Chains A and B, each alone.
Chain A
Amino acid sequence: MIRTDRILGVVVVIVALVFITSAYNLPQGNLFDKLGPKAFPMIVAVGMILSAAGLILRPDPEADWPATPSLVSIALATLVLIGYAYSLKPLGFLAPTAVAAAILSYQITPRPLPAILTGIGLSGGLFIIFKYALGLGLFAFPRGFFG
């Protein structure tokens, strides 16, 4: 039977093999550094393979994954956060924060008006705290927005 534990185990084994091939090209140790840069990564990779084998051979009962709508919701939240990460610098603090916070808020409790208010409130409130109370160098708007 295919279980998430097994899938993860296989992924980890592949990553560990990449680790080993990559470490293989590193130089051997010398007199002043007997082990050199490759030995410890090899040990870690072998450890990864052994424990992943444990997962593949004896997986736990399947985890309690949420239903599809929730998974879609979580995937959407991830995309929002990625978009937020990219836009924070070019678009300034206020607009991206308000949008991202409003979407997350709506996803937790789906009521549009409170969500929008949460977004605006968090964005403005946090900006004031960060900029004036903690002295972080944030930009409210895109640079050059006001000429």
Chain B
Amino acid sequence: MDLLSNLAIGFEIALSPMTLFLAVVGCFLGTIIGALPGLGPSNGVAILIPITFTMGLDATAALVLLTSVYYGAMYGGRISSILLNIPGDEPAMMTTLDGYPMARNGRAGDALVISGVASFVGALLATIALALVAPYLAKIAYKFGPAEYFALYALAFATLGGMASNNQAKSALASFIGLGIALIGIDNNSGFYRFTGGNLHLADGIDFLVAIVGLFAVSEVFFFIESHGKGSSVGVTLGKVTVPWREIWSTRWTMLRSSALGFVAGVLPGAGASLGSFMTYMMEKSIAGKNGGFGTGVAKGVAAPEAGNNAAAGGALVPMLTLGVPGSGTTAVLLAVLMTLNITPGPTLFADRPDVVWGLIAALLIANFVLLAMNVPMVKVFVRILQVPPAILLPGVTMISFVGIYSLSGSYFDLLLMVGFGVLGYIFRKMDIPTVPVILGILLGYQMENNLRHAMTLSGGEWTYLLSSPISVGLWVAAALGFIAPMFLRRYLRKPQMVTD
């Protein structure tokens, strides 16, 4: 069977000592990043990217390290949700609803174990589903021409934007600003400089890593200065941790249902892990009914969102790897990694670089077991790390960001740009303007323009060519629906603020 032989290739790579070591380090760092309030998967991965490059890791190694961080952060987010009632990262928000009440009832240990097992089930099933689904999607993607890709990018902006803000105009604005930033610099087709204002530093364009680190990591400092790090203390103490086997068994259907729904939510561009956990919690709440006790600290209430957000994290890798279109903030950051390493995600990735794809999938399968071990028996270690005060953590994050970006280019101009993006990120997030579409625009702008120009050249300037195949028509219809539908659903489905995963 194809799958098994592919996985064999993957495990051969993943089981090398170096790759295993990176996976373990990534899981450890990721759990910390997820657990610390103020650091989530997207800014955690963002600050690690420059450091990864300066270490000279190859594509597979870098990807294994960073996706382990991504998975780890999804596990870790629940720790502070349960103990502090502060989500460690955005997708763990729903876990506070039942996790914190459980902890207040003296069952913090049980809540951590149940949610840890749920995370494991969600992530493991999603990784298996990724291995099954991705090759098929990659085969379909071979049929895509420039017109279809242009439509696909539009779809990504529409759905991601449609979900990311409570105001469609603001999402659209964020996307266009991102695209506008991507246009700055030399035009590779004609050789003309565009929008540089004569500034030589801008001739090569704005590096998306600078924008990502600025928008995601530096802006966080400003939020902590505004709040003076308040609301990050009083926690619940954690007693002895035992495994409540019967209670875990009682949530088995919840975990399976939530994993399935979470995976689907992750595959859809724009939904991502935060929405995955939101949808699964709501689903389980309505299945359990009024007597289910959701919100008072029940096992199903922590199992559902954790299985959901971890499954969504795996699902979000599917469109990123097969189509080169990220479904969420963190996968956008991972796409930036691939692009910097000169790897073009998309259908050809599966044919040309099976080592990267299958090595990654195998490493993720291994990472899951490492994470289960870290997050259930060793959870106390991370609880201790949670006590790092923000007055040390946030300056540390800023300095790491500076050194990371500085080591990439050695230019003070990039550092200034990064600070600028930090301020912009603060203002945008205050105004409920989502920052993920900005990143997406900077990342995809070049490809989007190229595909449009290519399509127009092929058709001799005939705009109807963009709608000439059933696939592209379907994509445009989906894009329109994805952008408009949230306006009508908003009454029932208010998005949690500031989705940044």
Given A33-B457, A51-B173, A73-B225, 4 more A-B residue pairs with CB atoms under 8 Å apart are: A54-B172, A74-B222, A84-B402, A100-B395
- Which of chain B's residues 158-215 have a Cβ closer than 8 Å to chain A? 166-170, 172-173, 175-177, 179-180, 183, 187, 189-190, 192, 194-195
Q: Are B228 and A41 in contact (CB under 8 A)?
A: no
- Minimum CB–CB distance from B421 to chain A (whole Å) comes to 11
The listed residue (A44, A84, A109) touching B389 by CB distance below 8 A is A109
Cβ-defined contact, A51 with B172, below 8 A: yes
Q: Are B222 and A77 in contact (CB under 8 A)?
A: yes
Across the interface, name the chain B residue whose C-beta is closest to A49: B176
| Distance, CA A107 to CA B223, complexed state (A) | 11
| Chain A residues with CB under 8 A of B419 | 78, 81-82, 85
Q: Does B224 interact with chain A (Cβ within 8 Å)?
A: yes
A-B complex: 7 closest residue pairs judged by Cβ atoms: A54-B169, A85-B415, A109-B391, A51-B173, A51-B172, A101-B395, A104-B395
Whether A17 is near chain B, meaning CB under 8 Å from some CB there, is no
Q: How far is the CA of A65 from the CA of B403 in the complex (A)?
A: 30
Bound CA–CA A51/B396 (angstroms): 37
Do A37 and B187 have beta carbons less than 8 Å apart? yes
Contacts of B167 in A (CB 8 A): 54, 60
A44 CB to closest chain B CB, in angstroms?
Answer: 5
Known: A32-B457, A136-B403. A104 touches B430 (CB 8 A): no
B172 with A33: CB separation less than 8 A? no
Q: Which residues of B contact A134 (CB under 8 A)?
A: 51, 54-55
- Neighbouring A residues of B400 by C-beta, 8 Å: 126
- Closest residue of chain A to B188 (Cβ to Cβ) is A37
Q: Which residues of A contact B (CB under 8 A)?
A: 4-5, 8, 12, 15-16, 19, 22-23, 26-27, 29, 32-37, 39-41, 44-45, 47-48, 50-52, 54-55, 58, 60, 63-66, 70, 73-74, 77-78, 81-82, 84-86, 88-89, 93, 97, 100-102, 104-111, 114-115, 118-119, 121-123, 126, 130, 134-138
Q: Which A residues are in CB contact (< 8 Å) with B403? A: 93, 126, 130, 136, 138
Chain A residues closer than 8 Å to B399, beta-carbon distance: 97, 100-101, 122-123, 126
Q: Measured between alpha carbons, how far is A41 from B170 in the docked complex, in Å?
A: 19
A108-B177 contact given A40-B449, A51-B169, A78-B419, CB 8 Å threshold: no
Does B194 lie within 8 Å of A12, measured CB to CB? no
CB distance from B92 to the nearest CB of A (A): 22
In the bound assembly, the distance between CA atoms of A134 and B460 in angstroms comes to: 52
Where the two chains meet, the residues of B that have a C-beta atom closer than 8 Å to any C-beta of A are 51, 54-55, 166-170, 172-173, 175-177, 179-180, 183, 187, 189-190, 192, 194-195, 218, 221-222, 224-226, 228-229, 389-392, 394-396, 398-400, 402-403, 406-407, 410, 412, 415-416, 418-419, 422-423, 426, 430-432, 448-449, 452-453, 456-457, 459-461
Q: Is the interface of B mostly helix, strand, loop or mixed?
A: helix
- B229 near A109: Cβ-Cβ < 8 Å: yes
In the complex the two chains form, what is the Cα distance from A74 to B166 in whole Å? Answer: 26
Q: Which of chain B's residues have a CB closer than 8 A to the CB of A23? A: 194-195
Q: Which residues of A contact B407 (CB under 8 A)?
A: 130, 136-138
When distances are taken between beta carbons in the complex, the residues of chain A under 8 Å from B452 are 35, 39-40
Q: A37 with B225: in contact, given A86-B412, A105-B395, A136-B407 (CB under 8 Å)? A: no
**Residues of chain A with a CB closer than 8 A to B402's CB:** 81, 84-85, 88
How far, in angstroms, from A52 to B176 measured CA to CA in the complex? Answer: 10
- The distance in angstroms between the C-alpha atoms of A105 and B453, with both chains bound, is 49
Chain B residues near A114 (CB-CB < 8 A): 391
Decide if A58 touches B180 in the complex (CB within 8 Å).
no
Q: Which of B169, B189, B415, B461 has the most CB of A within 10 A?
A: B169
Residue in B closest to A117 when the chains form the complex, CB atoms: B392
Would A33 and B180 be within 8 Å (CB), given that A41-B195, A74-B225 are in contact? no
Contact B398 A115 (CB under 8 A): no
Cβ-defined partner of B180 (8 Å) among A5, A19, A101? A19
Q: Do B229 and A108 touch across chains, with their CB atoms under 8 A apart?
A: yes
Contact of A26 among B169, B192, B218, B453 (CB under 8 A): B192
Most buried by B among A64, A70, A105, A137: A105
**Could you say which residues of chain A place their CB within 8 Å of the CB of B51?**
134
A4 surroundings in chain B (CB, below 8 A): 431
CA distance A51 to B410 in the complex (A): 36
> Measured between alpha carbons, how far is A84 from B218 in the docked complex, in Å?
13
Give the docked Cα–Cα distance between A15 and B229 (Å): 35
Cα distance A50–B190 in the bound complex, in angstroms:
28
What are 18 sample pairs from A and B whose C-beta atoms fall under 8 A apart?
A16-B180, A27-B192, A29-B461, A35-B461, A39-B452, A70-B226, A81-B419, A85-B402, A85-B415, A88-B412, A101-B398, A107-B225, A108-B394, A110-B228, A111-B391, A118-B392, A118-B395, A134-B51
**In the complex, which residue of chain B has the Cβ closest to the Cβ of A107?**
B225
Question: Given A33-B190, A35-B457, A63 and B449 touching (CB < 8 A)?
Answer: no
Contacts of B453 in A (CB 8 A): 29, 33-36, 39-40
Contact check, B391 vs A108: say whether CB atoms are below 8 A apart. Answer: yes
CA distance A51 to B412 in the complex (A): 33
Identify the closest chain B residue to A32 (Cβ): B457
CA distance A116 to B497 in the complex (A): 35
CB pair B395–A122 under 8 Å, yes or no, is: yes
